[in-house]
Amino acid sequence: MDTSLWGKQAENKVRLNAPIALTADPVRAALAQLAGAEKTLGSLRGAFRSTPFQPEAGIPLFGLLVALGVLLLGFVGWLILDAHGGPGQFFTKMQMGGVVGVLVLVGIALGLIAFGGFRVRYLVRDLRQLFLVLEGGVVHVRHDGTRVFTWVEIADLNHAWIPLEYGGMDIGTEHIYRVMSKDGREVVLLGRSYPTSEDADEGRNLTDGDEPLTDVYQVGQFLARNIKER
């Protein structure tokens, strides 16, 4: 196992913990951009969001941080303008410790707004980023373009993994697959698989049939077998 893969800093990391329906509108839109490549890529076998967080969960979460920051700034504004009669009286009446405390609150509020706003901005930007697995290769749909990796274009596929345990029980595996093309492009696939999924896939030829691929382990096995048989 090449554990150095875990330290790989790649802009093109894709976490495959969020499979989406093959008929979803973003998937259809992405496939429409590939018009003319049907003969090379074939039918669709799996579709995943290409972001670390599911946007539906991440946007409200980080949006809440922004809201908390705004509320905190509002509280500080009320404290200065209303409760103490304005900035002049506030700084006259308050001791140094109180002034420092208010400045700390302002700093925390601005930090929440900046951090939450930054994350929301990128989640919104990445809403339509996808990773598609097709019979003839894989497609990484990013905000800055679409990259296609057909089986013949892939130079190597590296795999690393870490077993996950809780209370001495096997609860799954964290996987990382690094796909490298012959022209230097790469995409790094991360995600978790679970014992029931791995046991079900043992001995099953994932290159056959029409069942959608639903986790990183299935995608990795599908890639490895197709690259070997190209």
pLDDT confidence of residue 208: 54
Instruction: List pLDDT tens digits, range 134-171.
Output: 999 999 988 778 889 999 999 999 999 888 888 888 88
- CB neighbours of residue 144 within 10 Å: 8
CA-to-CA separations, 98 to 24, 30, 85, 105, in angstroms, rounded: 54, 55, 15, 11
5-9, 40-44, 49-53, 196-200 — most confident range: 40-44
> How big is the CA angle at 41 (ends 199 and 30), to the nearest 5 degrees?
95
Phi and psi at residue 47, to the nearest 5°? -140, 135
168 or 188: which carries more pLDDT confidence? 188
Which candidate, 223, 177, 180, 172, places its Cα nearest to that of 46? 223
Tell whether the model's pLDDT for residue 10 goes beyond 60. no
Q: What percent of the chain has pLDDT over 90?
A: 27
Q: Where does the pLDDT of residue 129 fall: very low under 50, low under 70, confident under 90, or very high at 90 and above?
A: confident
CB 63 within 8 A of CB 55: no
Tell whether the model's pLDDT for residue 39 goes beyond 50. yes
Identity (one letter) of the amino acid at 156?
Answer: D
Q: Which residues contact 46 (CB under 8 A, 6 or more apart)?
A: 19, 22, 132, 133, 212, 213, 214, 218, 219, 222
For the chain, the farthest-separated pair of C-alpha atoms sits apart, in whole angstroms, at: 79
Instruction: Return the bridge partners of 161, or none.
Output: 175
What is the rounded CA–CA span in Å between residue 106 and residue 133?
47
160 or 194: which carries more pLDDT confidence? 160
Strand runs (DSSP E) across the chain, as ranges? 13-15, 44-49, 130-134, 137-142, 145-150, 154-166, 169-181, 186-193
- CB neighbours of residue 123 within 10 Å: 21
Instruction: Return the bridge partners of 145, or none.
Output: 142
CB 88 within 8 A of CB 27: no
CB 48 within 8 A of CB 70: no
Instruction: List pLDDT tens digits, range 67-126.
Output: 999 999 998 887 777 655 666 566 666 666 667 778 889 999 999 999 999 888 877 877
Q: Where does the pLDDT of residue 224 fall: very low under 50, low under 70, confident under 90, or very high at 90 and above?
A: very high
Dihedral sign for Cα atoms in the order 195, 176, 174, 56: negative
Tell whether the model's pLDDT for residue 206 goes beyond 70. no
pLDDT confidence of residue 84: 59
16 or 69: which carries more pLDDT confidence? 69
- Give mean pLDDT, residues 199-204: 51
pTM, full prediction: 0.70
pLDDT confidence of residue 196: 62
Tell whether the model's pLDDT for residue 9 goes beyond 60. no
Tell whether the model's pLDDT for residue 2 goes beyond 50. no
